[in-house]
Structure 1
Amino acid sequence: MRDSFSTFHPVVNFTYFTTVILFSMFFMHPIFQGIALTSAFTYSVSIKGKKGMKFNLFYLLPMLLLMAALNPVFNHAGVTILFYARDGNPVTLESILYGIASAAMFVSVILWFSCYNEVMTSDKFIYLFGRIIPALSLIFSMVLRFVPRYTEQIKVISNAQKCIGRDVSQGNIIQRAKNGIKILSIMTTWALENAIETADSMRSRGYGLPGRTSFSIFTFDNRDKIMFSIIFGLIIAVLTGAAAGENTIRFFPSIKHADITVYSLLVYTAYFILCMMPVIINIREAIRWKHIESRI
């Protein structure tokens, strides 16, 4: 599915991801965590397809289950004792639920950052912060590109070494270790040379100099204004509910949370719409495109 949300202005994209990441980190209420996890998972799959589904199911889901299972092993706080382990330590309901909430929070943040990395490209980040913090914005944009770009480069190096019999899968253990060190050395040399070339290129272009102008393809049009207003309104609604205590929960020594009321349901709905906003936009654009195709 084509990601229509990424076509909005960088201010809209950055505001959205900053908000949902912070909310996912600080809202430990199970309903908020469930909404954030479901929304991040759905958006990740919608923009990455089968690759995102595979990563989420085979890496993040086991991580979620492992973190949720480890917490009651080391954390024995809570008054609701379910049973005793072989070492005599109690396993409590509160520690289990807190472990699930913590694991959901951790996985949600990872998913949001993976979506952020797909949408907020380096040119968008430099556009937002290039004039305020030119050096730091350039370094940060390079860091964001580090993993995907260097992963592809190390595959190229490994394939080249495999052709001459020097891959980590060839030879005995000692030879494989030597081949791995050789590949790592080549990769390090390439990374250092690439960093120097990038720095020289940006310096020759006058990056960071006062009064320097730069070309930009981004314009804050009416569509961006409407979307930013909707996101800002949803943020205010969620923050108002948080100030009223609708997102608070206490795990220890016993579980205590605010009662579910009509107002809390409205807050949950606002948070759900906020988190699912990119998916809603993509579905809407896909329906419009199908409608246009049917009329041709």
Structure 2
Amino acid sequence: MAVPRARAFDAVHAAVPAMLLAGTVALCMLAVEPVLVAVSLAGALAFSLVARGARPTLRGLAWQLPLLALVCLANPFFSASGSTLLFKLGPRSVYLESLAYGATMGALLVAVVLWLQCAATVLTQDRLLALAPRRARAVPLLLGMVAQLVPQLLRRSRDVRASLAACTAAGPRPAARDALTRTSSLLLSWSLEESLERADSMRARGWESGRPRTAYRSERLRLRDAASLAGIAVLLVLAAACAWGLCAQWHFYPRMTAPAPWWAYAPFALLAFLPVVAELVARLRERGRL
């Protein structure tokens, strides 16, 4: 039997990885600058290899990389702009700036997909349910009831229409509007009758009995979790300010500007590689090497 992998974020409250990954995904989608996109893609790929494993990551890249190439190669034909002409393909001119913009957008799309896959690995369904307020935990019940009642209502509608069509002793078939009115009236009365029975059944099981329903909280927010959230918030603000400044001075058209100094990318790089560093540190601690 395979031993389950250690997760760096299992020892902290679910709000910590939720805030970190949600902020990372948001900045990744908004920061359209080649170096920032490359850093985000590298961080997402590294975290996916560590957290999800090499085989699922490579299986996903089998369709993600062709999508990146498609976006990169298709953009020059839809946006023939720029000042550095590479070659002409019939009446279309392919510019370096258009090619770079397409490559950046394709890499951004792949990075966002990888981050979302990593978030789904770290934030399992029970951890997301623990983050939801108490009232929101009834949403799965409501969705389950809707998924059950809608097909039942459609099936009964077909039965009502078939019964009305088969009843020829009452005279000719009514018009479409009259038939719709009779079908709706029968379905409404049928649904109201069953709603009373369903409400009595749920009340007998304790729903809305007047007392607050107790729930076991598997995760509690501790002092170190609050400190981690504060540190992540500061890092997100610094990374957002870094991305805003870099994107403001970068232009694809008519000519690409020069990248900023390497230290200007440090806050965003720290945010992008924080999940994989935390995962590696947790695994080294588990093996007793730290």
> Residue type matched to 1:280 in 2?
V
Distance 1:59 1:12, change over 3 A: same
Deviation at 1:16, TM superposition (A): 0.9
Aligned match of 1:60 = 64
The aligned runs of 1:27-176 (5 Å cut-off) are: 27-86=31-90, 88-131=91-134, 133-134=136-137, 138=140
The runs of 5 or more residues in structure 2 that have no matched partner are: 145-200
Aligned match of 2:269 = 272
Q: Distance in 1 between matches of 2:135 and 2:21?
A: 20
Output the TM-score relative to the length of structure 1: 0.68
Distance 1:292 1:90, change over 3 A: closer
SS of the aligned residue for 1:83 comes to: strand
Distance 1:246 1:119, change over 3 A: same
Q: Indicate which of 280, 287, 290 corresponds to 1:290.
A: 287
Q: Distance in 1 between matches of 2:26 and 2:142?
A: 19
**For this pair of structures, how many residues does the alignment match?**
227
Aligned match of 1:14 = 18
> Residue type matched to 2:62 in 1?
F
Aligned match of 2:29 = 25
Deviation at 1:73, TM superposition (A): 2.6
SS of the aligned residue for 1:256 comes to: coil
**More contact order relative to length (CA 8 Å, sep ≥ 6):** 2
Q: Distance in 1 between matches of 2:237 and 2:228?
A: 14
Q: Distance in 2 between matches of 1:141 and 1:49?
A: 33
Q: Distance in 2 between matches of 1:24 and 1:44?
A: 16
Distance 1:62 1:126, change over 3 A: same
Deviation at 1:140, TM superposition (A): 12
Q: Indicate which of 8, 12, 18 corresponds to 1:4.
A: 8
Aligned match of 2:229 = 228
> Residue type matched to 2:105 in 1?
S
Q: Distance in 2 between matches of 1:140 and 1:279?
A: 37
CA RMSD of aligned residues (A): 3.0
> Could you report, residue by residue, the CA deviation over 1:176-221 in whole angstroms, capped at 9, with x for unpaired residues?
xxxxxxxxxxxxxxxxxxxxxxxx99x95749x9833321110122
Q: Distance in 2 between matches of 1:50 and 1:205?
A: 47
* Structure of greater Rg: 2
Distance 1:285 1:140, change over 3 A: farther
Distance 1:210 1:251, change over 3 A: farther
> Residue type matched to 1:238 in 2?
A
> Could you report, residue by residue, the CA deviation over 1:84-104 in whole angstroms, capped at 9, with x for unpaired residues?
112x11001111000011001
Q: Indicate conservation of the 8 Å contact 2:7/2:282, yes or no.
A: no
Q: Indicate conservation of the 8 Å contact 2:51/2:279, yes or no.
A: no
Q: Indicate conservation of the 8 Å contact 1:77/1:94, yes or no.
A: yes
Output the TM-score relative to the length of structure 2: 0.69
Aligned match of 2:197 = none
Aligned residues: percent identity? 24
Q: Distance in 2 between matches of 1:141 and 1:118?
A: 23
SS of the aligned residue for 1:33 comes to: helix
Deviation at 1:285, TM superposition (A): 1.8
> Could you report, residue by residue, the CA deviation over 1:250-277 in whole angstroms, capped at 9, with x for unpaired residues?
21233236x524xxx4441111111111
The runs of 5 or more residues in structure 1 that have no matched partner are: 143-199
Q: Indicate conservation of the 8 Å contact 2:21/2:119, yes or no.
A: yes
